[in-house]
C-alpha cells in the first residue's frame, strides 16, 4: 500500500471518530500529498460539472412523478460551459485569485455583479441583482427582510460547492467562505444548506463513508433547523426501502411539498436537500448511479446532482473518472459572464482552486513540505460547527430598522440623488416604517415612492406571481399601500 493510501486511511479513522465539535483537540493536523489534493479538487469540480450540465435536460421535468432515466453514462463531449450552478463561483474564484483576497469586500462583490453577472440569473439571485441596482450591497441583498426569495431559495446550496473545494478537511473555514458568498442572495434555512454541504465536501477529502459525512454535515446545521428533520427522514426511509428510491421520493414529496409543486417547491431547499441526500445514499459512492438517481428525483435536479457529484468527485478523485474513459472534453466555455476568460478549461478552473486551497491552508497555520521527493501539505484539522444560526424574521426586521433608521430618514428627507431617495423608500417599506414617513412627511415620501417607481425591473419582479410565499404576500401588500405600481410597457 502506498503512502498516499496509508495517510488517507489514518485520516479517515481520525475524522470518523470525531464525536462533536467540542470534543476534539483543535491542534490536531493531518498530511495530504499535493498530488492527491489536486486530484480530489479536480474530481470534485468535474463531478459538480457533470451533475449540473448532464442534469439540465431533466431540470424541472419531474415534479408530480419521478423521472425514468436509466443507463446514464457521464459525458461532456463538447466540454463544459458556464451555467449558474458554477459560473457565479467562477466569477468570485477568478477575482479571489487575481486580487489575493479570500473574502472579497461586499462593495467589490457588487462591482463584480454589475460588471459580469447580468444575464442567465434567476429567482433570489435576480432579485439580489435588482437590489444592487438600487444601491443595496451584500449581505443585505440576501436578507430575508429585503429579498422575498431569501428564506427558501436553493442558491444556498448551488453556489457553495466550489468554495468548499478550497478548504480540504477544514469544514468551518469552508462554511465561512461559502456563507460569505451565498449570503449575497439567501439567509435563514438556505444558509444552513451552505454549511451542511460545505462541511460534507470539505470532509470528503479525508472521509469516504457517506454515513459519517452525513453525521458530520448535520453537526454544522443549527439544532432548530428543519433540515435536520429532512435528513433524518430521508435516512430513515432509505433504511426502510434500501432498494426502492421511488418510495423515498414519494414520502419526501408528500411530507415536504409546500406549494403543490409550484416554484416554491421546485426552487426550495426542502425537496432539494432531501433529493441530494437520497441520491448520495442510494448512489452508494458510484457517480453514474448517484447522478442518475438525482436526475430522477426531479424538481431542480441539476442542483442536487451537482452537489452530490461534487461530494462523490472529491471522494473518488479525477483520475478515477478518467479511467472510466467517459467522453470528457477539457473545456469550460464562457457563454454567460461578461469580462471573464474565454479560454478556460475544466482543469485550469480546478487549478485555480488548487492555488487558493494552498493559500487557505497556509493562512490557517498549515504547512507545505517536501517529503521523500514530493510535496505534501500539513493541514490544521477542524471539527464541524454551526457558523451562522437561525434568527427570527421579526427580530431581524427590528435589528435592521435600528441599524438603518438614520440612513433611511436621511434618504427620504435630505437625499443627494434620486437613487438614494428610491433606496430609502424601498428600505422603509421592508422595515415597516413607510406609514410613519407617509403620515409625517407626505411630500418627501411621495417623492421617494416616485423615485422608487422608476426602478421598474425591481418593482415588476416584486409584483410578479412568484414566489408567493407569506413573506412575499406581506411585502407586496405593503408595497401596494405605499404606492408602488407596475407601469405598462
Alpha carbon distance 485, 264 (integer Å): 24
The pLDDT value given to residue 485: 96
The pLDDT value given to residue 465: 81
Indicate the pLDDT class of residue 18, thresholds 50, 70 and 90.
very low
Handedness of CA 316, 322, 324, 330 (dihedral sign): positive
340 and 432 both lie in a single domain: no
The per-residue pLDDT for range 194-219, each reduced to its tens digit, is 999 999 999 999 999 999 999 999 99
Q: Tell me if 4 is assigned to some domain.
A: no
Q: Tell me if 58 is assigned to some domain.
A: yes
Tell me what the mean pLDDT of segment 261-282 comes to: 96
Residue 9, pLDDT > 90, answer no
Indicate the pLDDT class of residue 247, thresholds 50, 70 and 90.
very high
397 and 319 both lie in a single domain: no
CATH number at residue 144: 1.10.4080.10
Residue 3, pLDDT > 50, answer no
Tell me what the mean pLDDT of segment 311-338 comes to: 98
Work out the percent of the chain whose per-residue pLDDT is above 70. 94
The 10 Å Cβ neighbour count of residue 260 is 9
Secondary structure (H, E, C), the chain: CCHHHHHHHHHHHHHHCCCCCCCCCCCCEEEEEHHHHHHHHHHHHHHHHHHHHHHHHHCCCCCCCCCCCCCCCCCECCCEECCCCCHHHHHHHHHHHHHCCCCCCHHHHHHHHHHHCCCCCCHHHHHHHHHHHCCCCCCHHHCCCCCCCCCCECHHHHCCHHHHCCCCCCHHHHHHHHHHHHCCCCCCHHHHHHHHHHHHHHHHCCCCCHHHHHHHHHHCCCCCCHHHHHHHHHHHHHHHCCCCHHHHHHHHHHHHCCCCCCHHHHCEHHHHHHHHHHHHHHHCCCHHHHHHHHHHHCCCHHHHHHHHHHHHHHHHCHHHHHCCCCCECCCEECCCCCCCCCCCCHHHHHHHHHHHHHHHHHHCCCEEEEECCEEEEEEECCCCCCCCCCCCHHHHHHHHHHHHHHHHHHHHHCCCCHHHHHHHHHHHHHCCCHHHHHHHCHHHHHHHHHHHHCCHHHHHHHCCCCCCCHHHHHHHHHHHHHCCCCCCC
88 and 128 both lie in a single domain: yes
* Structural domains of the chain, count: 2
150 and 276 both lie in a single domain: yes
Tell me what the mean pLDDT of segment 405-417 comes to: 98
Top-confidence residue, 28 or 136: 136
The pLDDT value given to residue 25: 41
Alpha carbon distance 157, 411 (integer Å): 35
Q: Tell me if 9 is assigned to some domain.
A: no
The per-residue pLDDT for range 220-242, each reduced to its tens digit, is 999 999 999 999 999 999 999 99
193 and 314 both lie in a single domain: yes
Indicate the pLDDT class of residue 393, thresholds 50, 70 and 90.
confident
372 and 227 both lie in a single domain: yes
The pLDDT value given to residue 5: 46
Residue 19, pLDDT > 80, answer no
Indicate the pLDDT class of residue 468, thresholds 50, 70 and 90.
confident
Q: Are 313 and 46 in contact, with CB atoms under 8 Å apart?
A: yes
Residue 6, pLDDT > 60, answer no
Last residue of a domain, which of 336, 358, 380?
Answer: 380
Residue 15, pLDDT > 80, answer no
Domain carrying residue 176: 29-380
Tell me what the mean pLDDT of segment 378-382 comes to: 97
161 and 198 both lie in a single domain: yes
Alpha carbon distance 66, 180 (integer Å): 34
Alpha carbon distance 96, 396 (integer Å): 30
Tell me what the mean pLDDT of segment 285-289 comes to: 98
The pLDDT value given to residue 372: 86
For 42-58, give one letter per residue: b (16+ CB within 10 A) or e: bbbbbbbbbbbbbbbeb
Q: Tell me if 243 is assigned to some domain.
A: yes
Environment class of residue 447 by beta-carbon count within 10 Å: exposed (0-12), middle (13-18) or buried (19+)? middle
298 and 186 both lie in a single domain: yes
182 and 66 both lie in a single domain: yes
Residue 427, pLDDT > 60, answer yes
> For residue 265, what is its C-alpha cell?
417547491
164 and 232 both lie in a single domain: yes
Tell me what the mean pLDDT of segment 478-483 comes to: 97
149 and 127 both lie in a single domain: yes
Average pLDDT of the chain to the nearest whole number: 94
Tell me what the mean pLDDT of segment 55-67 comes to: 97
Q: Are 272 and 226 in contact, with CB atoms under 8 Å apart?
A: no
Q: Tell me if 5 is assigned to some domain.
A: no
Last residue of a domain, which of 346, 380, 414?
Answer: 380
The pLDDT value given to residue 74: 98
Last residue of a domain, which of 380, 402, 417?
Answer: 380
403 and 286 both lie in a single domain: no
The 10 Å Cβ neighbour count of residue 367 is 13
Q: Tell me if 451 is assigned to some domain.
A: yes
Q: Tell me if 12 is assigned to some domain.
A: no
Q: Are 80 and 346 in contact, with CB atoms under 8 Å apart?
A: yes
DSSP bridge pairs for 268: 153
Residue 17, pLDDT > 70, answer no
Q: Tell me if 352 is assigned to some domain.
A: yes
The per-residue pLDDT for range 430-464, each reduced to its tens digit, is 999 999 999 999 999 999 999 999 999 999 999 99
Indicate the pLDDT class of residue 27, thresholds 50, 70 and 90.
low
Alpha carbon distance 145, 267 (integer Å): 19
The pLDDT value given to residue 351: 98
The per-residue pLDDT for range 305-319, each reduced to its tens digit, is 999 999 999 999 999
Amino acid at each position: 500500500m502506498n503512502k498516499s493510501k496509508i495517510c488517507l486511511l489514518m485520516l479517515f479513522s481520525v475524522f470518523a471518530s470525531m464525536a462533536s465539535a467540542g470534543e476534539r483537540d483543535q491542534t490536531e493536523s493531518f498530511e495530504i500529498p499535493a498530488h492527491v489534493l489536486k486530484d480530489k479538487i479536480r474530481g470534485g469540480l468535474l463531478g459538480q460539472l457533470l451533475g449540473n450540465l448532464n442534469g439540465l435536460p431533466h431540470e424541472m421535468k419531474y415534479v408530480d412523478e419521478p423521472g425514468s432515466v436509466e443507463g446514464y453514462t457521464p459525458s461532456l463531449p463538447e466540454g463544459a460551459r458556464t451555467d449558474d450552478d458554477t459560473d457565479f463561483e467562477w466569477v468570485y474564484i477568478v477575482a479571489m485569485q487575481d486580487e489575493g483576497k479570500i473574502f472579497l469586500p461586499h462593495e467589490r462583490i457588487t462591482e463584480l455583479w454589475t460588471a459580469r453577472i447580468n444575464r442567465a440569473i434567476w429567482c433570489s439571485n435576480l432579485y439580489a441583482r435588482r437590489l444592487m441596482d438600487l444601491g443595496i450591497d451584500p449581505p443585505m441583498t440576501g436578507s430575508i427582510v429585503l429579498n422575498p426569495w431569501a428564506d427558501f431559495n436553493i442558491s444556498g446550496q448551488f453556489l457553495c460547492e466550489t468554495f468548499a473545494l478550497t478548504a480540504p478537511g477544514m469544514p468551518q473555514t469552508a462554511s465561512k467562505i461559502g456563507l460569505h458568498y451565498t449570503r449575497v442572495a439567501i439567509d435563514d434555512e438556505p444558509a444552513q444548506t451552505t454549511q451542511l454541504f460545505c462541511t460534507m465536501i470539505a470532509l470528503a477529502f479525508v472521509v469516504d463513508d457517506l454515513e459519517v459525512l452525513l453525521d458530520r454535515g448535520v453537526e454544522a446545521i443549527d439544532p432548530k433547523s428543519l433540515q435536520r428533520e429532512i435528513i433524518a427522514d430521508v435516512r430513515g426511509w432509505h433504511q426502510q426501502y434500501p432498494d426502492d428510491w421511488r418510495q423515498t421520493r414519494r414520502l419526501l414529496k408528500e411530507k415536504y411539498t409546500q406549494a403543490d409543486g409550484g416554484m416554491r417547491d421546485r426552487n426550495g431547499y426542502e425537496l432539494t436537500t432531501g433529493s441530494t441526500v437520497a441520491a448520495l445514499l442510494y448512489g452508494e459512492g458510484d457517480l453514474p448511479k448517484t447522478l442518475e438517481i438525482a436526475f430522477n428525483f426531479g424538481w431542480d435536479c441539476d442542483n442536487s446532482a451537482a452537489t452530490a457529484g461534487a461530494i462523490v468527485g472529491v471522494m473518488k478523485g479525477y483520475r478515477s473518472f478518467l479511467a472510466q474513459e467517459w467522453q470528457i472534453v477539457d473545456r469550460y466555455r464562457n457563454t454567460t459572464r461578461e469580462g471573464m476568460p474565454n479560454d478556460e478549461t475544466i482543469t485550469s478552473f480546478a487549478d485555480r482552486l488548487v492555488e487558493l486551497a494552498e493559500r487557505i491552508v497556509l493562512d490557517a497555520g498549515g504547512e507545505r513540505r517536501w517529503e521523500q521527493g514530493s510535496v505534501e501539505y500539513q493541514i490544521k484539522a477542524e471539527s464541524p460547527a454551526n457558523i451562522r444560526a437561525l434568527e427570527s424574521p421579526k427580530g431581524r426586521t427590528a435589528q435592521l430598522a435600528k441599524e438603518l433608521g438614520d440612513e433611511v430618514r436621511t434618504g427620504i428627507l435630505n437625499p443627494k440623488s434620486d437613487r438614494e431617495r428610491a433606496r430609502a423608500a424601498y428600505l422603509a417599506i421592508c422595515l415597516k416604517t413607510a406609514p410613519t414617513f407617509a403620515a409625517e412627511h407626505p411630500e418627501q415620501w411621495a417623492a421617494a415612492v416616485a423615485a422608487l417607481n422608476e426602478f421598474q425591473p425591481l418593482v415588476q419582479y416584486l409584483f410578479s406571481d412568484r414566489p408567493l410565499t407569506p413573506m412575499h404576500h406581506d411585502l407586496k401588500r405593503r408595497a401596494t399601500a405605499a404606492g408602488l405600481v407596475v407601469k405598462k410597457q
